[in-house]
Amino acid sequence: MAKQLHIFVENKPGRLKTITESLQKIGINIRAFAIQDRGDYGLMKLIVSDPRQAHLSLADMGCACALKDVLAVSIPDRPGNLHRLLGALADGGINIIDAHGFVLQPNKQGICVIEIENLAQTNAEQVVRKAGFDVLDDDQLNNL
Amino acid sequence: MEIRYWNKEIETADREKLRQIQLQRLKSIIASALKTPFYSRRLPSVGIHSPDDIKSLDDLRKIPFTTKDDLRQNYPKGLLSVDTSEVVRIHTSSGTTGVPTVIYLSAKDLDAATDIMARSIYATGTDKTDILQNMMSYGLFTGGLCMHYGAERVGLMVIPAAGGNTKRQIQLMKDFRTTVLHITPSYLLHVHSKLAEYSVAVSDLALKKAFVGAEPHSENTRRKIEDLFDIDAYNSYGLSEMNGPGVAFECVYKTDLHLWEDAYIVEIINPKTGELVPDGKEGEVILTNLIRHAMPLMRYRTRDLAFLHKESCPCKRTHRRLSRILGRTDDMLIINGVNIFPSQIEEVIMKIPEVGTNYQICVEKQGALDRLIVKVELYSKIFMGEAKQIDNLKAKIADELKASITLKPAVELHEPGVLPVFEGKAVRVVDSRPKL
């Protein structure tokens, strides 16, 4: 399963920078990121070249962070495909907590990173594959 | 100015007569105290075995001080002198840690306390034609119920509105032509800030007076209240350990608070040495309750700082006047009239495994009201990566704090290691409210 690094950050100037700074120091490449705003704090969500190494390094600094299993779906970059993916998940009764996406190759491939409620207890991966999408594993996502 | 007395003989008794009453009542309290587990150990240790060992009021000083810690350690029944079948009411207040302090009142005690409360109300020129909206919280806190009973005894129409719900409060004031409020000064100022929102003008109301208490305030705050509402505001002083409000109250001259010396013996001491200080000098207020037998309490260290006036009052009452409360000798915080010890907050936080041991307590003004913010650090190892976990944790901390301190703080979760680390306890509290 693909891993996303979640980091608890206060909503204050300079907090995000300390995270990116420490990842830069150990040569971690950030492939994609999103920030979930929760008022006085936020969650920074990173797709990185080496999630385990990044996690260990931030945890050593005393950061509150965690690796989360996410569904990383490869989607052809064409109109209507996100709608099709969401439709399949909705039909399967699968609830999305948060998601972000990015285009990898314009007009060819995009990636959608989805946090699913109780992922381990769902058949989300099968549902997505059945709908005709590729699901990326940890290595595939990290080595995009 | 018209001066009215609830009990003229007592209120204007000469000092010698007052001292006689105090001595006689003190002996009687000693008799009750000797029936309690706590004082039956403590009094003989200083040579007091019976009321006859008290020959003069000076003998009071043989009795060691009783502290909040004594009350806590002897919770719940160590200071009870009678069987609970003789008790008709209890009240509690916050202790310095999770253990509250409790007071017990017999029917006779309650009657005496109510009479003192009635005397206080009447001294402000309030009478049975008045309508009191009691905006202090009811329940375990003495401020609501004790005022309520005193006002009923004077014959006022009482609206037991309790605290909160400003819109309804203003509606009640309008509909029932409320003439007197019992309220904390900060809440009264907040009410004023809300009048326009509900399209109510001060002139739409029938307010004449306010009894303001439960939190320290300055003469400037009183004037501001009086100007904004065009009323007279009377300062009141009390603490639950001494039966609540009405220990001392202002008369129509509003020049500080007559402390009812037939009901309480007041001493002002140097809090460091325990030595008495002369009238006019600031010190810690020490009170001996002369009217409560079910739970005697003698030489109680209130931790409140104040002084006694030397001069007499034009109202001819002989009971000395206590100044406004000038501060505390401990770290107790008074937040919207609720007494809170930082140690209570600490105790709750330390029991929650998901947060670190470093914390900060911030108190600030938001409009006229106080706002309590408890800042804690997330314990990094428990974080599972979900916002829901953080939000649930914040709600859990707020709920557990509310269960302990009775008001719900705003909880801020911080990253591990960002809150300042302090050696001492006091600096964990940042009180940015303007000084009195």
Quickly state the pLDDT bin for B325 (edges 50, 70, 90). Answer: very high
Instruction: Note the pLDDT of residue B426.
Output: 46
Residue with the two structure tokens 């020129």: B125
Task: Please tell me the distance in Å from B378's CA to the nearest CA on chain A.
Answer: 7
Q: Where among B314, B330, B346 does a domain terminate?
A: B330
Nearest to B383 among A38, A64, A97 (CB): A64
| One domain for residues B65 and B156 | yes
Domain enclosing residue B395, as ranges = 335-431
Taking only the tens place, the pLDDT of each residue in B139-173 is 999 999 999 999 999 999 999 999 999 999 999 99
Burial tier of A85 (Cβ tally within 10 Å: 0-12, 13-18, 19+): buried
What's the DSSP call for residue B65? P
> Was domain A70-137 assigned CATH 3.20.20.450?
no
Contact indicator for B107, B88 with CB cutoff of 8 Å: yes
Taking only the tens place, the pLDDT of each residue in B80-134 is 999 999 999 999 987 777 788 999 999 999 999 999 999 999 999 999 999 999 9
| One domain for residues B101 and B120 | yes
> How many other β-carbons are positioned within 10 Å of the β-carbon of residue A29?
13
- To test the contact with chain A by mutation, choose from B360, B380, B382 the residue with the greatest count of A C-beta atoms within 10 A, namely B380
Q: Where among B330, B358, B373 does a domain terminate?
A: B330
- To test the contact with chain A by mutation, choose from B415, B418, B419, B421 the residue with the greatest count of A C-beta atoms within 10 A, namely B415
Contact indicator for A36, B416 with CB cutoff of 8 Å: no
* ipTM > 0.85, yes or no: yes
| One domain for residues B226 and B136 | yes
Do the Cβ atoms of B390 and A41 come within 8 Å?
Answer: yes
Q: Name the nearest CA neighbour of B104 among B126, B125, B79.
A: B79
- Report the pLDDT averaged over residues B388-396: 95
Residue B183 token pair: 């309220």
- Report the pLDDT averaged over residues B1-27: 97
> How many other β-carbons are positioned within 10 Å of the β-carbon of residue B53?
15
Residue B370 lies in a domain: yes
| One domain for residues B183 and B47 | yes
Residue A48 token pair: 């990185």
Domain edges within chain A: 2-68, 70-137
Do the Cβ atoms of B386 and A62 come within 8 Å?
Answer: no
Q: Which CATH superfamily is domain A2-68 in?
A: VC0802-like (3.30.2130.10)
| One domain for residues B307 and B389 | no
Burial tier of B273 (Cβ tally within 10 Å: 0-12, 13-18, 19+): exposed
Burial tier of B12 (Cβ tally within 10 Å: 0-12, 13-18, 19+): middle
Q: Where among B289, B309, B330 does a domain terminate?
A: B330
Residues from B contacting A (CB-CB < 8 Å) are: 378-380, 383-388, 390-391, 412-418
Quickly state the pLDDT bin for B423 (edges 50, 70, 90). Answer: low
Question: What is the number of domains present in chain B?
Answer: 2
Do the Cβ atoms of A8 and B379 come within 8 Å?
Answer: no
Taking only the tens place, the pLDDT of each residue in B248-304 is 999 999 999 999 999 999 999 999 999 999 999 999 999 999 999 999 999 999 999
Do the Cβ atoms of A64 and B379 come within 8 Å?
Answer: yes
